[in-house]
C-alpha cells in the first residue's frame, strides 16, 4: 500500500506535463523560430538540431511505410551524403535539398565546415560511433573536376566514379564502407548496382557505445512481449540499482529513461505503457526542441533496469522517402549542373547501419546502501516494443533513432 502511494507521488514528480515543457513565460519569445534560437545558440548546435529534425521526419516516413517493422536510421550520415550532393547542384537544386535537410533556417555561411566539424566531433573514438558518407557516380557521366575537388576540400572525401564493372563496383563500394566504419559495416551493397544508376549518395553508420555504468547481470534469455504474437526470447542485460534519468509522459503514454554512455553520449528510451507497435504519439512529437526539453525535465533516480542486449544491422534505400518529403519534383530534374552538364538522375540513396548494445561499461553500480531508490522500488523493464534515440549530449546531434518491435526479426550484423 505504502509503495503504491510512493509511486504515485513519484509519478507526479516525474510526470512531464505539457505545462512543465512549455517555455518559461518570462523568456522573450517571438514565435516558433525564436524559440529554436533560444535552445540552440551556436552554429554547431543549430546544425545538429537541423539534422535531428531531418532525421525525425525521415524516420516518420519510414515508419509510415512499414508500420509493422522495426525501423532504424542514422540521420547524420544521410545528411552528410545529401549535403555532399548539394555541392553539385544549381542554386535552385541546393535550395530544395537544404529545405528537406532543414538547413534553410540556419543562415550559416560556414555550413560545410560546421558540418565537417560536427561529424569529426561525434565520430571521435570515445563515443563509439562511426559514420561514412560518399557520392558515387555512374561511369558514363562526364564529371566536372571542380565538384570532386570541392567535396574533397570540404569533407575530406572525394566522390568517386564507378567503373561500370558490376563486381568491381560492388567490391569498391563495400570495401570503402567497411574500411570507413572500422570493419563494422559489411556487405553494404548486397547485389551489384544496375547500369545507368546516375548519382548515388550513400551513408553508413555503426554504433557500439559503452555504458558509463556496466550491467551486472547479462545475457540471460528473457521474454520480450510482441504485439500480436508469442513473446520473443532475448538476452537481457540487468542491474538492480542502475542510475538513470527518468520521466513519465502521460500525454504520450510512455516512460522515458536516459541512460548515460561514455564519451558524453546517451541513450534515450521511450517505453510505451502498453505492448504496442503503434508509437504514433511519440513519433509525431519528436523534434530537436521536444527532445531537448524532455531531457532537461528528467529526474535522476536509481532503478531496476533491464535492457535487451541487441546486435543488429538495418539497411534501406531512402530515395522513395525523400521523394515523399518534398523532393519528388527535384528528383525528376535534379539540376546537378556542377557535377556534370549531362542530365543526371539520383539512382538510390542507400543507407546501412549496425548497432551493438552490450553490458560492458566503465564502472559497476555503487554497492553502498541507498535507501531512497530501494524504497521507491522503481523499475524500467524494456521487455516490450520501444523507441530509442542515441544522442551526442554536447551538440545534441542525433546519432541513431530506432524502433524495436520484435528483436528476433532484426537483421544480423
Ligand atoms: C495509432 O495511434 C494513434 C494515436 O493513438 C491513432 O490515432 C491511430 O489510429 C493508431 N493507428 C493504428 C494503425 O492503430
Report if residue 335 sits inside a domain: yes
Report if residue 300 sits inside a domain: yes
Element containing residue 27 per DSSP (H, E): none
**Which numbered atom of ligand 1 lies nearest the CA of 67?**
13
Report if residue 276 sits inside a domain: yes
pLDDT at site 266: 98
Distances (CA, A) of 264 to 56, 347, 358, 394: 21, 37, 17, 7
Q: How far is the CA of 10 from the centre of ligand 1 (A)?
A: 29
Contact (Cβ atoms closer than 8 angstroms) between residue 339 and residue 158: no
Is 50 exceeded by the pLDDT of residue 335? yes
Residues 215 and 350 in one domain: no
- The pairing of beta strand 386-392 with beta strand 361-363: unpaired
Residue nearest to atom 7 of ligand 1 (CA): 280
pLDDT in tens, 369-412: 555 545 568 999 999 999 999 999 999 999 999 999 999 999 99
Residues with CB under 6 A from ligand 1: 278, 280-281
Higher pLDDT, 360 or 67: 67
- pTM, entire model: 0.91
Domain count, the chain: 2
pLDDT at site 364: 85
Mean pLDDT for the stretch of residues 236-262? 96
What percentage of the chain carries pLDDT values higher than 70? 89
pLDDT at site 5: 45
* Cα–Cα distance measured from residue 279 to residue 295, given in angstroms and rounded to the nearest whole number: 19
Helix boundaries (H) for 219-265: none
Residue nearest to atom 5 of ligand 1 (CA): 281
pLDDT at site 139: 93
Is 50 exceeded by the pLDDT of residue 263? yes
**Which numbered atom of ligand 1 lies nearest the CA of 281?**
4
Residue nearest to atom 8 of ligand 1 (CA): 280
Report if residue 8 sits inside a domain: no
**C-alpha closest to that of 76 among 63, 59, 94:** 59
- Look up the domain containing 269 and give its range: 211-307+360-366+374-404
**C-alpha closest to that of 130 among 309, 327, 390:** 390
Residues 124 and 254 in one domain: no
The separation between CA 88 and the C-alpha centre of its own chain, rounded to angstroms, equals 26
Residues 302 and 244 in one domain: yes
pLDDT at site 29: 45
pLDDT at site 97: 98
Residues 198 and 345 in one domain: yes
pLDDT at site 4: 44
Q: How far is the CA of 269 from the centre of ligand 1 (A)?
A: 20
Provide the CATH number for the domain around residue 178. 3.30.497.10
Residues 80 and 189 in one domain: yes
Report if residue 144 sits inside a domain: yes
Residues 160 and 126 in one domain: yes
Residues 140 and 261 in one domain: no
Amino acid at each position: 500500500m505504502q509503495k503504491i502511494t510512493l509511486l504515485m507521488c513519484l509519478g507526479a514528480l516525474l510526470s512531464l506535463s505539457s505545462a512543465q515543457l512549455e517555455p518559461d513565460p518570462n523568456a522573450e519569445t517571438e514565435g516558433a523560430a525564436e524559440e529554436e534560437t533560444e535552445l540552440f545558440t551556436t552554429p554547431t548546435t543549430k546544425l545538429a538540431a537541423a539534422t535531428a529534425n531531418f532525421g525525425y521526419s525521415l524516420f516518420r516516413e519510414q515508419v509510415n511505410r512499414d508500420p509493422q517493422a522495426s525501423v532504424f536510421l542514422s540521420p547524420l550520415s544521410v545528411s552528410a551524403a545529401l549535403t555532399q550532393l548539394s555541392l553539385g547542384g544549381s542554386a535552385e537544386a541546393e535550395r530544395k535539398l537544404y529545405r528537406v535537410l532543414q538547413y534553410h533556417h540556419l543562415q550559416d555561411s560556414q555550413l560545410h565546415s560546421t558540418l565537417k566539424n560536427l561529424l569529426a566531433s561525434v565520430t571521435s573514438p570515445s563515443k563509439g560511433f562511426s559514420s561514412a558518407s560518399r557520392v558515387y557516380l555512374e561511369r558514363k557521366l562526364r564529371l566536372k573536376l571542380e565538384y570532386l575537388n570541392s567535396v574533397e576540400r570540404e569533407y575530406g572525401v572525394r566522390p568517386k566514379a564507378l567503373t561500370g564493372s558490376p563486381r568491381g563496383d560492388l567490391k569498391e563500394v563495400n570495401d570503402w564502407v567497411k574500411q570507413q566504419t572500422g570493419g563494422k559495416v559489411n556487405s553494404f551493397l548486397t547485389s551489384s548496382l544496375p547500369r545507368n544508376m546516375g548519382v548515388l549518395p550513400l551513408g553508413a553508420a555503426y554504433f557500439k557505445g559503452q555504458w558509463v555504468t556496466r550491467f551486472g547481470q547479462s545475457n540471460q534469455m528473457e521474454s520480450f512481449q510482441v504485439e500480436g504474437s508469442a513473446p520473443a526470447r532475448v538476452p537481457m542485460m540487468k542491474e538492480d540499482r542502475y542510475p538513470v534519468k527518468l520521466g513519465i509522459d502521460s500525454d504520450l503514454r510512455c516512460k522515458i529513461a536516459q541512460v548515460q554512455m561514455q564519451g558524453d553520449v546517451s541513450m534515450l528510451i521511450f517505453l510505451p505503457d502498453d505492448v504496442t507497435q503503434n508509437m504514433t504519439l511519440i513519433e509525431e512529437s519528436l523534434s530537436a526542441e521536444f527532445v531537448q526539453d524532455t531531457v532537461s525535465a528528467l529526474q535522476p533516480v536509481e532503478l531496476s533496469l533491464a535492457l535487451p542486449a541487441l546486435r543488429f544491422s538495418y539497411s534501406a534505400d531512402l530515395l522513395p522517402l525523400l521523394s515523399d518529403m518534398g523532393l519528388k519534383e527535384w528528383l525528376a530534374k535534379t539540376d546537378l549542373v556542377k557535377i556534370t552538364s549531362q542530365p543526371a538522375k539520383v539512382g538510390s540513396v542507400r543507407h546501412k547501419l549496425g548497432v551493438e548494445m552490450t553490458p560492458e561499461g566503465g564502472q559497476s553500480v555503487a554497492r553502498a546502501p541507498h535507501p531512497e531508490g530501494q524504497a521507491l522500488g522503481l523499475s524500467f523493464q524494456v521487455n516490450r516494443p520501444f523507441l530509442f534515440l542515441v544522442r551526442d549530449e554536447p551538440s545534441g546531434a542525433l546519432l541513431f533513432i530506432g524502433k524495436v518491435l520484435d528483436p528476433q526479426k532484426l537483421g544480423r550484423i
